[in-house]
Amino acid sequence: MPDRRVGIWLIGAFGGVGTTTAVGLAALAKGLTSTTGLVTELPAFLGADFDAPATFTVGGHDIRQTTFAAAARELHERSNVFSAPLLAAIETTLDTWSKNVRPGVIYHANAAIAAMADRKDVRAAASPAAAIEQIQSDLRAFQREHRLDQLVVVNVASTEPPFELTEIHHSLEKLKAALAKDAAELPTSSLYAYAAIDAEYPYVNLTPSRGATMPALEELAIQESVPTCGQDAKTGETLMKSVLAPLFARRNLRVLSWVGHNILGNRDGQVLTDPQNKASKVKSKDALVAELLGYKPQTIVSIEYVPSLDDWKTAWDHIHYEGFLGTKMTLQFTWQGCDSILAAPLVIDLARLALRAQRRGEKGNLPALACFFKSPIGVADHDFGRQFEMLEQYIASDERR
Residues 78-137 close enough to bind a copy of itself by CB under 8 A: 80-84, 86
With CB under 8 A as the contact rule, which of the stretches 63-71, 197-205, 342-350, 374-382 interacts with a copy of itself? 342-350
Query: For the chain, what percentages of helix, strand and coil (3-state, to nearest 5) are there?
Result: 50, 20, 30
The residues in 28-67 that bind a copy of itself, with binding defined as CB under 8 A, are 33-39, 41-43
> Is residue 295 close enough to count as binding a copy of itself by CB under 8 A?
no
The residues in 222-241 that bind a copy of itself, with binding defined as CB under 8 A, are 239-240
Choosing from 60, 187, 337, 376, the residue that interacts with a copy of itself (CB under 8 A) is 337
SS3 labels along 309-332: HCCEEEEEEEEEEECHHHCEEEEE
First to last CA, the chain: 18
Written as one letter, the residue type at 35 is T
Least CB distance to a copy of itself at residue 241 (A): 11
**For residue 270, cis peptide bond before it (omega within 30 degrees of 0):** no
> Is residue 266 close enough to count as binding a copy of itself by CB under 8 A?
no
> Is residue 309 close enough to count as binding a copy of itself by CB under 8 A?
yes
Q: Residue 2 or residue 326: which is nearer to a copy of itself going by CB?
A: 326
Which element (helix H / strand E) includes 199?
Answer: none
Contact 374, 232 (CB under 8 A): yes
> Is residue 318 close enough to count as binding a copy of itself by CB under 8 A?
yes
With CB under 8 A as the contact rule, which of the stretches 56-64, 118-126, 169-177, 339-347 interacts with a copy of itself? 339-347
What is d(CA 154, CA 375) in angstroms, rounded to the nearest whole number? Answer: 16
> Is residue 381 close enough to count as binding a copy of itself by CB under 8 A?
no
User: Mask of contacts with a copy of itself, 270-289, x by CB under 8 A?
Assistant: --------------------
Choosing from 250, 361, 380, 401, the residue that interacts with a copy of itself (CB under 8 A) is 250
List Cβ neighbours of 329 (8 Å cut-off, separation of 6 or more). 253, 320, 321, 322, 323
